[in-house]
Structure 1
């Protein structure tokens, strides 16, 4: 079993209703690039973690063309919500809609051998200059959701943990507050996140920091390839 990751697929049907090439020529045919990479690297025994911003659809029924395209690829798929995933519903509704072919995380975790896959959307961090008063309750709620996921895995006896967020766990460079404090508290070994694009890709802390291996997996940061984690 190998574990891969990617984020920010930003799908919009076939043909795409919102071609991502409007954000730059490197996005031209981005889903074809991702799909080819996925099919070449991932087997049915492997796992792919998908860290949010999956579909531009506003409703679950409209997102199904994108979710089914992902479901049809090899491997076990585990995903969390991104800030643009307005189609997101209850776990039971989404699981039923895709016939159980995708696993959705919310306040819990998924087991993968000796690893626990934890996750939630996360949110913009207070250190970010764009953080506003309206963000505070959302940020606090996401801290609770992330801790619920990590605590559930710990209570189940898992000692190896991957945390999947959509938003970065800290602004620009590493801090000890917020999500980073939970990562330290629960001894998270790997943390993946997406959300960032363009120049922002170059201004984040990645690699091994205080015992945790951080990976930015936004698809354009990976040249539209799935990234092998383990």
Structure 2
């Protein structure tokens, strides 16, 4: 995998100005204000930057339209983490899958767009080992919000301080363990929440307690942000929030209680497993499986801020 993400590190660069949204770690300006970042050839270590679309007055004082911002989701990038891709992913057709992801990402994502990554971004066990993969992802167009997955050891065990330092040189990336925030653009307020999944029914006590705390933090954030009356409410979970029979879980009940419009999730791979999660709309919540192989490695469009487009899975 000599030309993969783990092999293509680049020199550090200073972080872009701006503050992180609530609950997230990382540095970049708000979505509507960030400069566009062109897609980079994977052989280049450091892409050139150019200004994004102008939104102020144009010639003759005529206002230019604000750039369209679209929100996408994809899960389970499974970047190699300084090693060859997982051999156990081969049966799912994942040989050199990051090359497919890169090509289709560049075809789909504009510099001003936001991509929610629903867990399992990289197999790296530590933040230091994750740096090459994060730098590779940073060179892809668009903003990225990384949420936790069961293989994200680098994220799940990182302190906030260490995570902030790790993401300082990847200004298009934020990461969060759990919680929610509001993103505003063109007078639309979009709520985005994140959690690894519903608390398991059994397991080590510490793991159970950690999963329950994450769900409680998400619940608290959703309650706090409800007064902002968001136009669209999205929650990203790595594990399926419930089974295909839609039997209630703590997470699915929380989504219903907070009137979440859309829940995206990943974790399931292969045709035999894709049916193991919820699909369609149940009790007011739309569920969309976004694992990479299910989407044919193409991010799924969730929302277009200039239209009424919602939840358009990749072809």
Deviates most, 56-65 or 133-142: 133-142
- The answer to whether structure 1 residue 122 and structure 2 residue 189 are counterparts is no
Aligned to 1:187: 259
Task: Identify the structure with bigger relative contact order (alpha carbons < 8 Å, sequence gap 6+).
Answer: 1
Shift of 1:98: 2.2
Partner of 1:224: 297
**More displaced stretch, 45-54 vs 84-93:** 84-93
* SS, match of residue 118 in structure 1: strand
1:64 aligned partner: 131
TM superposition score normalised by structure 1: 0.88
* Structure having the higher Rg: 2
Hey, which of these two has a bigger chunk of helix by percent?
1
CA distance in 1 between counterparts of 2:127 and 2:286 reads 33
In the TM superposition, residue 171 of structure 1 has moved relative to its aligned partner by 2.8
Please report the TM-score for the alignment, with normalisation by the length of structure 2.
Answer: 0.65
Which whole-Å CA distance do the structure 2 matches of 1:173 and 1:65 have between them?
Answer: 40
SS at match of 1:33: helix
- Corresponding residue of 1:6: 74
C-alpha RMSD of the superposition: 2.1
**Unaligned runs of at least 5 residues, structure 1:** none
Q: Secondary structure at the match of 1:162?
A: strand
Equivalent residue number for residue 209 of structure 1: 282
The corresponding residue for 1:109 is: 180
How many residues get paired? 224
Alpha-carbon separation, structure 2, partners of 1:182 and 1:123: 10
What stretches of structure 1 move > 6 A for 4+ residues in a row? none
Matches for 1:157-176 after TM superposition, within 5 Å: 157-176=229-248
Unaligned runs of 5+ in 2: 1-68, 304-315
Residue of structure 1 aligned with 2:84, choices 12, 15, 18: 18
